[in-house]
Structure 1
Amino acid sequence: MTTVLGRPVDEQTRCVHYHSPLDVVAIRFRCCNEYYPCHLCHEEQAGHPAGPWPVSEQDAAAVLCGVCRSELAIREYLTADDCPRCGAGFNPGCRLHSRFYFEPASQPPEGRPTALPRLPADD
């Protein structure tokens, strides 16, 4: 079984910082090769700064589905709304802080915005 460090609150990798029904992934941090539920858990416990995975390493298995415990390649995770192995839904809000884990590509993966769309200004 893959060990997840940090401050998890259940067996599906939710933590004290992120614990909605969809917060079911852990990230293997490139800097230490350890899984943490989130960047805040890593910041609190790792004892060193985190660095994002470079775009050139997006085929690395660095995302753990907390439901089925499958390891996903970064590219696979960034283009999925749910686990391709078990169908568990992933939190769509996580893409707003993916920069803590993954170096941004010059183009976002198809169908996956890097930021929320802007609303038109009131005139």
Structure 2
Amino acid sequence: MQLVGEHPVYGLEVDSETRCQHYHTERDVVAFRFDCCERYYPCVRCHEAVADHEAVVWPRERFDEPSVLCGACGAAMTAPAYLDSDSRCPNCETAFNPGCTDHLEYYLER
């Protein structure tokens, strides 16, 4: 577990900006909160590795609650704020990996 801002982030080899064993480029600075356990993970593979249950994506009815974490500044944002961010943190402008949007079905209900 790594503390990012005030938020614990769980996974394998998580660094101070939410990079993990699976995704660790300069732009891999996002963690997603899972509905099943209310915990942030850098990726679904980390959830599969350390959680004792199946991953449940963040549901649409909770899109008004913070569910995405910027690893660069520790700001938590809602799913709509993340989706509208143009792959940049709305708080600190750090670039996110645009490839994350290819895997949103693992994190956010569509």
Q: Which has the higher contact order (CA 8 A, sep 6+)?
A: 2
CA distance in 1: counterparts of 2:41 and 2:57, whole angstroms: 13
Out of 21, 36, 41, the residue aligned to residue 41 of structure 2 is: 36
Which 4+ stretches in 1 moved above 3 angstroms?
A: none
Q: Is the Cα contact below 8 Å between 1:61 and 1:73 reproduced in 2?
A: yes
TM-score (norm 2): 0.90
The correspondence of residues 1-123 of structure 1 with structure 2, limited to 5 A, is: 1-80=6-85, 81-104=87-110
- Greater share of strand: 2
Unaligned segments of structure 2, at least 5 residues: 1-5
Aligned residues: 104
When Rg is computed on C-alpha atoms for both structures, the one with the higher figure is: 1
Could you tell me which amino acid in structure 2 is paired with residue 72 of structure 1?
A: M
CA distance in 2: counterparts of 1:8 and 1:102, whole angstroms: 23
CA distance in 1: counterparts of 2:35 and 2:8, whole angstroms: 15
TM-score (norm 1): 0.81
Could you tell me which amino acid in structure 2 is paired with residue 3 of structure 1?
A: P
What is the RMSD of the two structures over their aligned residues, measured on CA atoms?
Answer: 1.0
CA distance in 2: counterparts of 1:7 and 1:56, whole angstroms: 29
> What is the deviation of 1:89?
0.4
